[in-house]
Copies of this chain bind each other. A is one copy, B any other.
Amino acid sequence: MQITILGGGGFLGRKLAARLAKDGTLGGRPITGLTLFDLAAPKPLPAPFPLRCLGGDVADPAALAAAIPPGTGVVFHLAAVVSAAAEADYDLGMKVNIHGTLAVLQACRALGTKPRVVFTSSVASFGGGQEAVVPDDGRQVPTNSYGAQKAIGELLLQDASRKGFLDAVNIRLPTVMVRPGRPNKAASSFVSAIIREPLLGLSTDCPVPPEFAVWICSPRSTVEWFLHAATMDTAPLGLDRGINPPGRSATVAKLLEALEAVAGRTARDKVGFAFDKEVFDIVVGWPGSFEAKRARRLGFPEQEPLADLVRAFIEDDLEATKADRGL
């Protein structure tokens, strides 16, 4: 089985690549090759199968044809311009998130072998805000361009699945935390920052109040979801290729409690509050909670408790993040 990860140099792309390299198999079948594709060629990682690391633009059909060669069985389409960046630069968001996804569709269609496509949509494709508990048939009324572009990407890949060009599973990811590295251009960057920065010994300001609720998941369960989406039987999905996976609803206050439980009061006290209207205006539209019954029925696994999310970051990413940031 040959696999491609588009956006393979990013946070989740690298986590997934490491897991595939560790397993050497997907769904019980040996992996015969992995292609990591990103704007800049991703750094190689040790793997028990041939690895290709390619640089290119996902909106460039020629680059994509190289990234998705004949024989590709699974494409993870993670390449994206994220929320605040797509809001700040509409044209860039359209290019990567719309024209990029159109190019992915055509590259997969050109194979003629109906590859599985796992597409990372987002909670940001929903509106409804803090009060919402989004039902499984909840409607996507995006409050930002990134969310609109993700909803459009889903519709494109869903219809292409119906046509038999490919076989898509569109996972609407919660905010994945704890994200290693530096604060990024996602409007939800603070959700990770309020855990990560204190664990690095740094102070940080939370741009939303303590009672603000976010729909979150861990990188570990995200990777589990990716593997499940890549190998599940898609027949029970019918026309509806969108998955609201079982994340967890947590207030900022609860996240800080978990931080304190794992790392003590000193860590907790590194987080201040400084309201940021620009960030707030984007994230306030995102639903605080989802029903996620269908995804559970379809076998998507649950989250660990909050404290485990904090511990997982310490185990998996703290040292690398320190090194990366020269701390």
Contacts and interface: CB of A to CB of B under 8 A. Distances in A.
Contact of A158 (B98, B148, B240): B148
A239 interface: yes
A159 B267 CA distance: 40
Interface string A141-159: 1110100110110011011
Contacts of A149: 159
Contacts of A137: 139
Contacts of A158: 141-142, 148
A163 interface: yes
| Identical copies in the complex | 2
Interface in A119-139: 127, 137-139
Nearest to A153: B152
A149 B156 CA distance: 8
A90 interface: yes
A163 B87 CA distance: 9
Contacts of A142: 155, 158-159, 239
Nearest to A148: B159
In the A-B complex, the 9 residue pairs with the smallest Cβ-Cβ separation, listed nearest first, are A148-B159, A139-B139, A148-B155, A152-B152, A152-B155, A137-B139, A145-B159, A141-B240, A151-B155
